[in-house]
A = this chain, B = another copy of it.
Amino acid sequence: MSQYHPLTPQEAIELAKTLPGPFTADANLECREIGDGNLNLVFHITDQNSDKSIIIKQALPYAKVVGESWPLSLVRARIEREILQEEYRLCPGMVPEVYHYDDDLALTVMEDLSDHVIMRKGLIEGVTYPLFAQHIGEFMARTLFFTSDLGMNQQLKKEKQGRFVNPDQCKITEDLIFDEPYRIAEKNNYDASIEDEAEALRTDGALHLEVALLREKFLTHGQALLHGDLHTGSIFVTPESTKVIDPEFAFYGPMGFDVGAVLANLFLNYASLPGWIQNETALHKRETLLLDMVRDVWNEFETRFRALWVSDLVDPMAKAPGYEDLYVQQLFRDSIGFAGTKMVRRIVGLAHVADIDTIPDAAEREHAQRKALAIGKTLIKNNRRLNTIGEVLDLVSTAISSIKV
């Protein structure tokens, strides 16, 4: 790791020139650092003489949001690159292609997806993604099934699990999702207007029990190789295409953690809608669309996951009668529980979502925050007894009907 240093844009261009592709000798390269995350530099390098472009992503050894006081292992760059390659193998076309990497510099050179937009931004702008549920259902079903004991050799899985031990990244998740929102913590971040909600999170024993059980799953249940941070800010979309990026939180964990991330971020956008849409009819239509997406994402995922169970099962005992149903039921419940924890942390924890934080009107913003917390808490508290996505949507409807405005 001795040669590691953060690249300058000029160094990024020099590096790009040395690559076997995609640029020709007469390329006229320009570079912009476009990283808006906390953990990485992202160089967008374009050839002014052609339409060729690449991305160079380099990990920083600390979290920008906190400064150099929060050191992070650069191993995550290797993990991110390897999982991009793994996901590409399992779902070609659904993640950026890796062209080149340098583990010493903690960087990966990859396909430029700037013709796509970050899904969170698209959702806030009201764009519709009719193929998203199918795409993400397929992505999750294939990446989770084929990296689990169900779909791959159990010994190879253990070796893979060893390669993807990711303590630094997991610690961020453990703290920010499964600990700090439920106590007074320096990194928590919420408006004074919802202090009553934050206080309620700190004193609700029944909630803490469910969070402890979900935390235990996150800490111990090495079920499949997760993306680990599958929110709508980690998904690039067009109405025709879906590309999953940023798997630097990848590790072997409970499948429901990835599925729950997608559901949670759709619910977060749903909760934000009255802050963005004044027209009642338009609002209702968009709200219905978001809840339909939640339903579709689960259903598409379940359908594809069960199809793989039929076609690609390798575990010798997994054909036991009733096992598939119990497995999917538990995966569903985990997904709902994790979705709840991910919603709660986005309101009172360190990192929020633009869907809600950028609502211009303060009262609408507060309303969206309370709504998101109500949904999150009901998902957490009921996760162990739920069986269908219809039940979940009913529960959500009940939970938000009682919010003080």
Contacts and interface: CB of A to CB of B under 8 A. Distances in A.
Contact of A211 (B149, B170, B212, B317): B317
A317 B215 contact: yes
Interface stretch (A117-125, A152-160, A226-234, A360-368): A152-160
Contacts of A323: 208-209, 212-213
A97 interface: no
A405 interface: no
A209 B318 CA distance: 8
Given A213-B326, A323-B209, A179 B220 contact: no
Interface in A302-329: 315-318, 320-323, 326-327
Interface string A157-198: 111011001111011001000110011000000000000000
Interface SS, A side: helix
A158 B323 CA distance: 29
Contacts of A158: 165-167, 170
A322 B209 contact: yes
A82 B395 CA distance: 50
A205 interface: yes
A165 B167 contact: no
A149 B221 CA distance: 12
Given A212-B318, A216-B149, A323-B213, A165 B171 contact: no
Contacts of A182: 317
Contacts of A215: 315, 317
A317 B221 contact: no
Contacts of A383: none
Contacts of A156: 167
A334 to B, nearest CB: 12
A239 B213 CA distance: 40
7 contacts: A155-B167, A155-B170, A155-B171, A159-B165, A182-B317, A209-B321, A212-B323
Given A149-B220, A154-B167, 14 more contacts: A155-B168, A155-B171, A179-B317, A183-B316, A205-B321, A205-B322, A206-B321, A209-B322, A211-B317, A212-B317, A213-B326, A215-B317, A220-B223, A222-B222
Interface of A: 149, 154-159, 161-162, 165-168, 170-171, 174, 178-179, 182-183, 205-206, 208-209, 211-213, 215-216, 219-223, 315-318, 320-323, 326-327
